[in-house]
Amino acid sequence: MEKSSGIAGNVLGRSLVVTHFIKRACQSRWIALPFITQEQEGSSPLFYEGFETVRPIDELVILRAEQEGSIVRLSSAFPIREDQCLWMTGLGEVWLASYEDPLNDQTKTLVTQSAAR
């Protein structure tokens, strides 16, 4: 994963927020979760897989995946930097934290209490 300059959510000039994550079964350790992002500003209905902004995902695809239960919409969108990702704990908590060292990240943010399958 490429490191950014530290500007929150700025990927090639785009400010991104994480809006969804792909459901996974809980494990006994922290696991990185695939996530969906959207541009922070503007009213574009386009979503992206993580930081990959070359191929947008249409809003209808996201809505269908939500209905099927394969992805979970966060209660609110969270700005994300390129050096961060979503992590699920063994208890099913989902955190936005450092990609390199989520346990010791003093700025990690709890985004949902229980995402366990």
Checking if the pLDDT of 9 tops 50, the result is no
What is the rounded average pLDDT of the residues 34-63? 87
- Cβ contact 23:70 at 8 Å: yes
* pLDDT value of position 94: 95
* pLDDT value of position 4: 37
pTM: 0.82
Checking if the pLDDT of 68 tops 80, the result is yes
Amino acid at 37: T
